[in-house]
Structure 1
């Protein structure tokens, strides 16, 4: 389990290039000693060639065998023990307890997809049998199911070095769907990536998966990442990160001779609608609850509540005072890397320079390179006329928008960009009185929460982690939960196919015993 700095290309480990990357410890503010060698163009081509060859085999491997593979990956990750945990802590600055929990979530995602594969109905098989004597024309035999796309490129996230990274949700979903995966390792946690890549490689070998079913390459996003996006062997992309990087990937993918889908989760402000009844009776509790949510993990969550929307008045002013006071009590914390830290304070500065924005609480960036919590306030008239106030400030801050009346509140919600989450805080009367505004919020976000905090995403069947652009590139998809598998498949219809050529999911006797829609009726 020693870290070598090499690239994982199928079952091979190579390092033939001369570009070197290093990891950074955001707590000690030191460069870690290991050196990681960026993949060369030749190494990239080898990985893609192997992935393409592996696809011809892996796509036909049974759901049960792919499930065993995913479970083996989870077991290999667990077997890395404290070595993995401490490396992830060193490269992210996140506490050990958080990383330990994230490892559990990573394993849970793999096991959840394994369960989905063993049951098998996720392929959504639909059969309309032939009607040869139908008038005026006969109906042919038609059978449709989801089928995999081909090699998938995954860009991991900086804020989740395990759960949204090398063996994270994108990789789990793509492998479950029957696609080989190539990971462009994140520059912030290359050592963590190498350890997990080794776990996946060992699991693939143990389970007899084809060479090239998984590869992981070191390099920079603007060079290696863009080269991978342009390569014709890549058939789909999963990305978690900033809007700037996500849009660059989307533009490159769309400009290819044959464009490919990009499933980019690009973060959002995650508005919280504070309704009057709740604010009047629960201001102190809400202030404590939201101070904790805003500052959890130094605010480095894509679901961080970066926007609070409320009706103007004494109760809202009192809540704002309590929230600012609660944020003052939170200790500043290190951020994931220098870039994230600098962007956080640049984002705050941009907000503070806008006329009409008032700073209620904010620390001053200092030599300690820590992120101090911040709370700002603005009237809805200013907020709705300056689009840059909607830009995500990735870190422990939130912007309170106050609305003078119901019309202003509705206009504020209508002008919101697409969001990953939106939260409603209200008592029973509030929820009835503001039903229109709640419906407007549903048009803006992939997940609506009631009387809770948006931080925290459950890994389960019903979860939607996505939303209208620019929160994500495709509002019809999710990057968390079993529905994520649909991003890496396409429907294929077989017409009058000879029975011997039908996949098991479409055979007449249903050997997989899955749920199928046959002539309009769901049946096993």
Structure 2
């Protein structure tokens, strides 16, 4: 695929109106051709108006047609897997084989959402048939289904340049719901974004859909993001990134004349609690495996197990030594951007200033934007006294917390803010303590893992990727898994309708053979 650097607004390639930018290779420090167009408020307006034009027809596509469109995107992603991985590697410093696997995961996500659409359960259809003879008041026929919200703006993420970017789960779930997508591409990987964007653009055309179903825009500074959130035709926004960035968008959206939902995924340290019996039985194994997983993607993963907590006792020293030894084996590797690299170094320095002791470090950096792996240690009292030590450090750093007792472990657990994931290692003798810890974690996260690590996460019907603030802005929803589609839907009840005017999923005879709730009974009525 030849990269042009154009913005993709509907079916058109659009040249720059607000300057250009050039991709950057963080491993070599070199610029990468071509120049990429930047747009502004006029391009935002054009893309959003096209999405609005597309909404009525796209949101009313048949389930089979929409599912086939999602499968087509998956096919096209698989066809460009190697090309996409190679370009993305140049722009991120991440290994090409890792990125090829990420492309396949993205394609699999589109296929899973195609299945969700075909099954139709996401519509949550419910029918309360008329009861004209009911006393003392007759009941009219009531039928409910979920419908799409409208045009959705998706902000691509930096750390997973495919599966959380243009061809990520946000795009897949919004398109599955029937919402046209305006994708704000991340400037850290413009070439990778264009390849993915053209895949979706081509799929829209081949499926015979309105061109406004998908657009990709790019801009400099905050202005283009603000224009997207402010546009009166936008009905929802998703964002993956920092708490500062996410909350700026969220607050802006609430100040609109017509406030809209902003579904953010922001910050998390994903604490891992090791209870005493598990610590004594396999402390070294836990320490070793956690560090290996924490260093995935140079520690630039939202589910990185960043904080390891254990009671000082049998197995603690083995855990500490194993974790330190594993960190010291780690080579320094290129981080995604110079900005992320500089923020990482500032944050680990701040940990030291707040009392954390460095107990293990990997190889020293050899290139300008290499991230050095580091392991720090604090006591439970230090963690409780200093909120900074409970904040995310985005990069290859882990904090080990030495606790005095299970009671202090529970006290520390209560001190954490909302998290995407929490994990505990517990053997049978630990179950009474685990039972005390569990309700504390339930209030703070949407996913609790036992005797495993917080990363990776399955993309499935039972997945939850969300938690209490500040992990997300709305803990009722997930941004990963089949449930992610629910963010882009709202209920509509059709009362006393003739069958010919009803949406097909609600008609008499159940022509789509969907599972429906009829008079409170679930079945294929």
Q: Helix, strand or coil: the match of 2:188?
A: coil
Deviations, residues 279-319 of structure 1 (Å, cap 9, x unaligned): 11212222221120111111111000111111123632332
Structure 1, 484-493 or 30-39: larger mean CA deviation: 30-39
Aligned to 1:45: 45
The question of whether the paired residues in 2 share the 8 Å contact of 1:278 and 1:425 is answered with yes
Is 1:304 the counterpart of 2:307 in the alignment? no
**How many Å apart are 1:100 and its aligned residue?**
0.9
Aligned to 2:11: 11
How far apart are the structure 1 equivalents of 2:367 and 2:98? Answer: 26
**How many Å apart are 1:365 and its aligned residue?**
6.5
The question of whether the paired residues in 2 share the 8 Å contact of 1:157 and 1:186 is answered with yes
The question of whether the paired residues in 2 share the 8 Å contact of 1:21 and 1:219 is answered with no
Structure 1, 330-339 or 17-26: larger mean CA deviation: 17-26
* Counterparts of residues 106-121 of structure 1 (less than 5 Å): 106-121=106-121
Aligned to 1:359: 358
Is 1:99 the counterpart of 2:99 in the alignment? yes
How far apart are the structure 2 equivalents of 1:188 and 1:66? Answer: 31
**How many Å apart are 1:432 and its aligned residue?**
3.6
How far apart are the structure 2 equivalents of 1:131 and 1:491? Answer: 22
Distance 1:221 1:65, change over 3 A: farther
**How many Å apart are 1:213 and its aligned residue?**
0.5
**How many Å apart are 1:269 and its aligned residue?**
0.2
Aligned to 2:64: 64
Aligned to 1:325: 325
Structure 1, 76-85 or 137-146: larger mean CA deviation: 76-85
**How many Å apart are 1:58 and its aligned residue?**
0.5
Q: Helix, strand or coil: the match of 1:445?
A: coil
**How many Å apart are 1:394 and its aligned residue?**
0.7
The question of whether the paired residues in 1 share the 8 Å contact of 2:81 and 2:104 is answered with no
Aligned to 1:270: 270
Structure 1, 145-154 or 373-382: larger mean CA deviation: 373-382
How far apart are the structure 2 equivalents of 1:416 and 1:44? Answer: 39
How far apart are the structure 1 equivalents of 2:167 and 2:248? Answer: 24
How far apart are the structure 2 equivalents of 1:349 and 1:341? Answer: 13
Deviations, residues 59-80 of structure 1 (Å, cap 9, x unaligned): 1111110111111111122222
The question of whether the paired residues in 1 share the 8 Å contact of 2:444 and 2:467 is answered with yes
**How many Å apart are 1:406 and its aligned residue?**
2.8
How far apart are the structure 1 equivalents of 2:333 and 2:111? Answer: 33
Aligned to 1:471: 471
How far apart are the structure 2 equivalents of 1:251 and 1:188? Answer: 25
Structure 1, 21-30 or 189-198: larger mean CA deviation: 21-30
How far apart are the structure 2 equivalents of 1:33 and 1:10? Answer: 24
Q: How many residues align?
A: 523
Q: Helix, strand or coil: the match of 1:402?
A: strand
Q: Helix, strand or coil: the match of 2:8?
A: strand
How far apart are the structure 1 equivalents of 2:61 and 2:314? Answer: 64
* Counterparts of residues 379-418 of structure 1 (less than 5 Å): 379-418=379-418
Q: Helix, strand or coil: the match of 2:301?
A: coil
Report the TM-score when normalising by structure 1.
Answer: 0.97
Aligned to 1:210: 210
Q: Helix, strand or coil: the match of 1:475?
A: coil
Aligned to 2:446: 446
**How many Å apart are 1:361 and its aligned residue?**
2.0
Report the TM-score when normalising by structure 2.
Answer: 0.97
Structure 2 alignment gaps of length 5 or more: none
Superposition RMSD in Å: 1.5
Aligned to 1:462: 462
Q: Helix, strand or coil: the match of 1:226?
A: helix
Aligned to 1:150: 150
Aligned to 2:491: 491
Aligned to 1:25: 25
**How many Å apart are 1:221 and its aligned residue?**
5.2
Distance 1:108 1:150, change over 3 A: same
How far apart are the structure 2 equivalents of 1:456 and 1:353? Answer: 31
Q: Helix, strand or coil: the match of 1:446?
A: coil
* Counterparts of residues 149-298 of structure 1 (less than 5 Å): 149-220=149-220, 222-298=222-298
